Amino acid sequence: MPKRDRTDTAISVPDSAIVRAEDLYRVYGAGAAAVVALDHVNLVVHRGEFVAIMGPSGCGKSTLLHILGGLDRPTSGRVVIDGIDLNTLNDDALSILRRERIGFVFQFYNLIPVLSAVENVALPLLLAGRRNGRSRTQESDAATRALEWLRRVGLGDRADSKPDQLSGGQQQRVALARALVAEPRLILADEPTGNLDSRSADEMLRLLRKSADDWGRTVVMVTHDARMAAYADRIVFMKDGSIVDDARLGGESSIEDALRRAEAST
């Protein structure tokens, strides 16, 4: 199949699923040294869900998240995000899709040290604007939106601070604002609290919860911490590269079951 270089030409099929992973298989290395990181994983995430992926280290949860986000490609199988099959995209189109439709939060905040908080948050908008040549209006618009997102994560008064002037928890909130600023529908978070004290971790999870409840995002988060996973609506358990259990935590199990049944019958 020829690979497209633009995502906006894709035909979006109305679908309650924002993420569909089908028969994902990922092997690293070859021969005797080959390690199977994902062993035929299937996963559907519906719009507005907050899903935690849990499991012991080495179970493949981070590999799965990276492949869902187009940061890594599966050896076989496919990922469909928002109706777009990532296998049909070349590397440029994939990076455009990542920038426009997915917000990433990592364990280490990955902020640019020489930029202020608001400049870090505005960066994805400025990078997107570069596509068509950036103008002064675009730049001031980006700064306004970045400031608004900083305010929403409770850092409106720290816009001019550099990362090294902020606590770990504050830096991670800047990173979340940066993930949200381009209004992506999907937030992927890889151990977002792995480097935080428990108070900052709770603050971070409340914001991820809010991203789903109030800001209409779908959140998929990898964690090994039960306290953090308990914020989610649903927990997917992994072991040895496979999904071994999938549990809904809230009281909507009947809805979820109905959705799964409907899906199984199509």
Partner 1 sequence: MPIERLGGRADRGAVQYAILALLAPRPRHGYDLRDAFEVALGGNWLLNSGQIYSSLVRLGRDGLVAEVGTERGGGPDKRIWELTDAGREEVAAWFASAVPRDYRLRDELYLKLILAVVTSVARPGPILQAQRRHLLRELHDLTARRNALDPRRQLAQILLLDSALAHTEAEIRWLDVVEARLDDIRSQPLPAPPERRRGQSRRRADAVSQPPRTAPPSLPGKPSRPSLRPRIATPE
- Is 230 a binder of partner 1 (CB under 8 A)? yes
> At what angle are helices 168-180 and 198-213 packed, to 10 degrees?
20
Strands of the sheet containing 84-85, edge to edge, are: 35-46, 17-28, 76-81, 84-85
- Is 214 a binder of partner 1 (CB under 8 A)? no
Q: Which is nearer to partner 1, 216 or 250 (CB)?
A: 250
Site for partner 1 in 19-58 (CB under 8 A): 56
Q: What residues have CB less than 8 Å from 261, skipping those under 6 apart?
A: none
CB of 102 to partner 1, least distance (A): 25
Structure tokens at 164: 């090294």
Binders of partner 1: how many residues, by CB under 8 A?
Answer: 16
CB of 244 to partner 1, least distance (A): 7
Which string of x and - marks every residue 51-70 that binds partner 1 (by CB under 8 A)? -----x--------------
**Do residues 12 and 82 lie in contact, with contact meaning Cβ atoms separated by under 8 Å?**
yes
Which helix (DSSP H) or strand (DSSP E) does residue 43 occupy? Answer: strand 35-46
CA distance from start to end of the chain:
25
- Is 13 a binder of partner 1 (CB under 8 A)? no
- Is 250 a binder of partner 1 (CB under 8 A)? yes
Positions that interact with partner 1 (CB under 8 A): 56, 206, 209, 226-227, 229-232, 235, 237, 244-245, 247, 249-250
